[in-house]
Amino acid sequence: MGSRASRLLREEEIEEIKKETGFSHSQITRLYSRFTSLDKGENGTLSREDFQRIPELAINPLGDRIINAFFPEGEDQVNFRGFMRTLAHFRPIEDNEKNKNPSATEPLNSRTNKLLFAFRLYDLDRDDKISRDELLQVLRMMVGVNISDEQLGSIADRTIQEADTNGDSCISFNEFIKASFVVNIHICTVVFSFLS
Amino acid sequence: MPSRTVSHGSSGRLRGLFLMMVLVFLESSVFTLAFASSDQHSPTTAHSDGRKATDHGSHNNTGKAFPVLDLNYENVRVPFEISLWVLLASLMKLGFHLVPHLSNIVPESCLLIVVGLLVGGIIRGTGETVPPVLDSKLFFYILLPPIILDAGYFLPIRPFMENLGTILIFAVVGTLWNAFFVGGLLYGVCQIGTESSSILSRIGLLQCLLFGSIISAVDPVAVLAVFEEIHINELLHILVFGESLLNDAVTVVLYHLFEEFSGIGTVTLVKGFLGVISFFVVALGGVLVGVLYGILAAFTSRFTSHTRVIEPLFVFLYSYMAYLSAEIFHLSGIMALIACGAVMRPYVEANISHKSHTTIKYFLKMWSSVSETLIFIFLGVATVAGPHDWNWTFVTVTVILCLVARVIGVVGLTFIINKFRIVKLTTKDQFIIAYGGLRGAIAFSLGFLLEKDHFPEREIFLTAIITVIFFTVFVQGMTIKPLVELLAVKKKQEAKRSINEEIHTQFLDHLLTGIEDICGHYGHHHWKDKLNRFNKKYVKKCLIAGERSKEPQLIAFYHKMEMKQAIQLVESGGGIKLPSAMPSTVSMQNIQPRPPTKPAAERAIPQLSKTKEEEIRKILRTNLQRTRQRLRSYNRHTLVADPYEDGLSDLFLKKQKMFQIEKKLKEMNTYLTVPAPPPDSPTMCRARLASGKHTDFKPDQVQKGNKMCSDPQAYSIKPALNKVPMIQVDLASPQSPDSVNLLDEFGQANQQEEEEQGLMMKPPSRPREGKKPGEEDEAKDQQKLMRCLSDPGPSADEDEDGAFLP
DSSP code string of B739-792: HHHHGGGT--S--GGGGGGSS------S----HHHHHHHHHHHHHHHHHHHS--
Cα separation, B219 vs B240, whole angstroms: 10
- CB contact under 8 Å between B512 and A188, yes or no, is yes
CATH of the domain at B364: 1.20.1530
Q: Provide the β-strand partners of residue A79.
A: A45
- B42 and B95 share a domain? yes
Judgement on whether residues B85 and B147 belong to the same structural domain of the protein: no
| Nearest CB partner across the interface for A187, out of B508, B583, B659 | B508
Domain count, chain B: 2
Verify whether the Cβ–Cβ distance A147 to B589 is below 8 Å: no
User: Are B286 and B354 members of one domain?
Assistant: yes
Asked whether residue B756 is domain-assigned, the answer is: no
Instruction: Give the end of a domain, one of B56, B87, B105.
Output: B105
DSSP 8-state class, residue A130: E
Nearest CA in chain A to B582: A162
Exposure pattern of B202-211 as b/e (b: 16+ CB <10 Å)?
ebbbbbbbbb
How many C-beta atoms surround the C-beta of residue B62 within 10 A? 7
Give B363's Cβ-side CA count (13 Å radius).
16
Radius of gyration of chain B (CA): 32
Q: C-alpha distances in angstroms, B496 versus A174, B152, B354?
A: 20, 21, 20
All residue ranges of chain A with pLDDT < 70 are: 1-7, 93-109, 180-196
- Which chain A residues contact residue B501 at CB under 8 A? 179-180, 182-183
Exposure string of B548-570, with b = 16+ CB inside 10 Å and e = fewer, is bbbbbebbebbeebbbebbbbbb
Q: What is the pLDDT of residue B363?
A: 93
Residues 6+ apart with CB under 8 A from B308: B352, B353, B355, B356, B639, B790, B791
Q: What are the residues whose beta carbons fall under 8 Å from the beta carbon of B163, sequence distance 6 or more? A: B235, B238, B239, B242
Q: What pLDDT, on the 0 to 100 scale, is given for residue B787?
A: 55
One domain for residues B159 and B93: no
B97 & B191 share domain: no
Nearest Cα to B495, choosing from A46, A179, A3? A179
Q: Which residues of A touch B777 (CB under 8 A)?
A: 148
Partner residues linked to B491 by β-bridges: B232
CB–CB contact B738 A144 (8 Å): no
Beta bridge partners of A171: A130
Using an 8 Å CB-CB cutoff, list chain B residues near A191: 422, 523-524
Q: Does B423 touch chain A (CB under 8 A)?
A: yes
Predicted confidence at residue B684, as pLDDT, reads 47
Q: Report A:9-38 residues touching B (Cβ under 8 A).
A: 31, 34, 37-38
Give domain status of residue B365, yes or no. yes
Which residues on chain A are in Cβ contact (under 8 Å) with B514?
A: 56-57, 60, 62-63, 66
Instruction: Of B450, B433, B478, B496, give the one whose Cα is nearest residue B207.
Output: B450
Answer yes or no: do B15 and B151 share one domain: no
Cβ atoms of B566 and A158 within 8 Å: the answer is no
> Domain check: are B224 and B86 in the same one?
no
DSSP structure class, residue B153: H
Last residue of one domain, picked from the residues B441, B463, B488: B488
Q: Are residues B93 and B145 in the same domain?
A: no
How distant, in Å, are the alpha carbons of A98, B233, B417, B455 from that of A95? 6, 21, 18, 54
Query: Which one-letter DSSP state was computed for residue B132?
Result: -
Residue type, B479: T
User: Which of B488, B503, B525 corresponds to the end of one domain?
Assistant: B488
Q: Which of B217, B235, B225, B228 lies closest to B171 in space, CA to CA?
A: B217
Chain-centroid distance of CA B489 in Å reads 25
Residues B92 and B139 occupy one common structural domain? no
pLDDT at B599: 43
Residue of A162, A186, A190 lying closest to B515 (CB–CB): A190
Domain residues for B420? 135-373+384-488
Q: Which B residues 703-722 touch A at CB under 8 Å?
A: none
* B480 within 8 A of B226, measured Cβ to Cβ: yes
| Inter-chain CB proximity B554 and A143 less than 8 Å | yes
8 Å CB contact between B768 and B731: no
Which residues are bridge partners to A45 per DSSP? Answer: A79
CA–CA dist A187, B411 (Å, integer): 25
Do B514 and A148 lie within an 8 Å CB cutoff? no
Contact B485, B232 (CB under 8 A): no
Q: Alpha-carbon distance B465 to B50, whole Å?
A: 46
Nearest-by-Cβ selection for B514 from A57, A122, A191: A57
Residues A175, A163 contacting (CB under 8 angstroms): yes
Q: Would residue B696 count as lying in a domain?
A: no
Are B154 and B271 contained in the same domain?
yes
In a domain, residue B454? The reply is: yes
Verify that B323 and B276 share a domain, yes or no: yes
For residue B718, what pLDDT is reported?
A: 43
Query: Does residue B265 lie in a domain region?
Result: yes
Angle between helices B553-571 and B647-667 (to 10 degrees): 90
- The answer to whether A90 contacts B512, with C-beta atoms less than 8 Å apart, is yes
Measure in Å the smallest separation between the Cα of A34 and chain B Cα atoms. 7
| Predicted pLDDT at B365 | 92
Picking from B460, B61, B354, the residue whose alpha carbon sits closest to that of residue B468 is B460
Contact A142 B506 (CB under 8 A): yes
Residues in chain B: 806
B143 shares a domain with B93 = no
B328: in domain: yes
Residues 491 to 530 of B: which have CB under 8 A from any A CB?
A: 493, 495, 497-501, 503-508, 510-521, 523-526, 529
With CA atoms as reference, the chain B residue closest to A184 would be B505
H-assigned helices in B439-519: 441-449, 458-470, 477-486, 499-519
Q: Which of A78, A93, A114, A146 is the best mutation test for B, with the most CBs of B within 10 A?
A: A146
Of B499, B517, B518, the CB nearest to A159: B499
Q: From CA B147, how far away is CA B537, in angstroms rounded?
A: 33
Q: What is the pLDDT of residue B437?
A: 87
Q: Does B776 map to a domain?
A: no
**Do the strands A78-79 and A45-46 form a parallel or antiparallel pair, or are they unpaired?**
antiparallel
Angle at B573 between CA B708 and CA B647, to 5 degrees: 70
For chain B, say whether A96 makes contact (Cβ under 8 Å). no
Do A159 and B503 form a contact (C-beta atoms < 8 A)?
Answer: yes
Give chain B's residues under pLDDT 70.
1-20, 23-63, 130, 193-201, 263-267, 386, 493-497, 549, 574-613, 622-656, 659, 662-806
In the prediction, which pLDDT does B58 show? 42
Q: Torsion angle, CA of A160/A165/A166/A168, rounded to 10 degrees? A: 0
B500 located within any domain: no
Is B479:A155 a contact under the CB 8 Å cutoff? no
Selection from B511, B615, B198 nearest residue A61 by Cα: B511
